[in-house]
Structure 1
Amino acid sequence: METAEPPQLIALDVDGTLMATGEQISARVRDAVRAAVAAGAHVVITTGRTLLATRMVVEELGLGAGRALCSNGAVHVDISNWEPLSVHTFDPEPAVAVLRTLFPDMVLSVEKVGIGTWTTGYYPGSFRLGEFRFVDDHQLSLEPTTRLNGWWPGGTLTDMVEVMAEQNLPGAGWVHGEHEPWLVASKLGVTKGWALEQLRRELGIPPEVTLAMGDGYNDREMLAWAGHSVAMGNAVDPVLELADEITADVGEDGVAVVLERWFHN
Structure 2
Amino acid sequence: MSGDRWLIALDIDGTVLREDGVMNDPVIAAVGKVRDAGHEVMLATGRSVAMTLPILDRLAISPEYVVCSNGAITLVRDADAPLGYRREHVETFDPTEVLTTIRENLEGANYAVEDEAGLYKFTGSFPDGTLGAVSEKVPFEELLAQHATRVVVISPGHKIEDFLSVVERMGLHKVSYNVGWTAWLDIAPDGVNKSTALERVRALLDIPRSRVMAIGDGRNDIDMLEWASAEGRGVAMGQAPDEVRAAANEFTGTDLDDGVATALAGF
**TM-score greater than 0.5 by the shorter chain:** yes
C-alpha displacement of 1:131 = 2.4
What per-residue deviation string (whole Å, max 9, x for no partner) do you get for residues 221-247 of structure 1?
111111111111111111222321111
Q: CA RMSD in A?
A: 1.7
Matching of residue 143 in structure 1 with residue 121 in structure 2: no
Counterpart for residue 199 of structure 2: 197
Q: In the TM superposition, what are the counterparts of 1:162-177 in structure 2 within 5 Å?
A: 162-177=165-180
Q: Name which of 59, 75, 78 aligns with 1:77.
A: 75
Q: Which has the higher contact order (CA 8 A, sep 6+)?
A: 1
What per-residue deviation string (whole Å, max 9, x for no partner) do you get for residues 205-226 of structure 1?
1111111111111111111111
Counterpart for residue 246 of structure 1: 251
Deviates more, 1:198-207 or 1:162-171: 162-171
Gaps of 5+ in 2: 79-83
What per-residue deviation string (whole Å, max 9, x for no partner) do you get for residues 30-88 of structure 1?
11112212221111200111111111211211223421101111100124522110110
Paired residues, what number? 257
Deviates more, 1:123-132 or 1:240-249: 123-132
Q: In the TM superposition, what are the counterparts of 1:17-166 in structure 2 within 5 Å?
A: 17-80=15-78, 81-127=84-130, 129-166=132-169
Counterpart for residue 211 of structure 1: 213
Verify the 8 A CA contact 1:46 1:192 in the aligned structure 2: yes
What is the alpha-carbon distance in structure 2 between the residues aligned to residue 83 and residue 41 of structure 1?
Answer: 22
C-alpha displacement of 1:125 = 4.1
TM-score (normalizing by structure 2): 0.91
Deviates more, 1:70-79 or 1:56-65: 56-65
Verify the 8 A CA contact 2:72 2:91 in the aligned structure 1: yes
Verify the 8 A CA contact 1:10 1:43 in the aligned structure 2: yes
Gaps of 5+ in 1: none
What is the alpha-carbon distance in structure 2 between the residues aligned to residue 107 and residue 113 of structure 1?
Answer: 20
What is the alpha-carbon distance in structure 2 between the residues aligned to residue 206 and residue 138 of structure 1?
Answer: 46
What is the alpha-carbon distance in structure 2 between the residues aligned to residue 115 and residue 240 of structure 1?
Answer: 31
Which amino acid is 1:152 matched to? S
Partner SS state of residue 27, structure 2: helix
What is the alpha-carbon distance in structure 2 between the residues aligned to residue 202 and residue 79 of structure 1?
Answer: 13
C-alpha displacement of 1:9 = 0.3
Partner SS state of residue 94, structure 1: helix
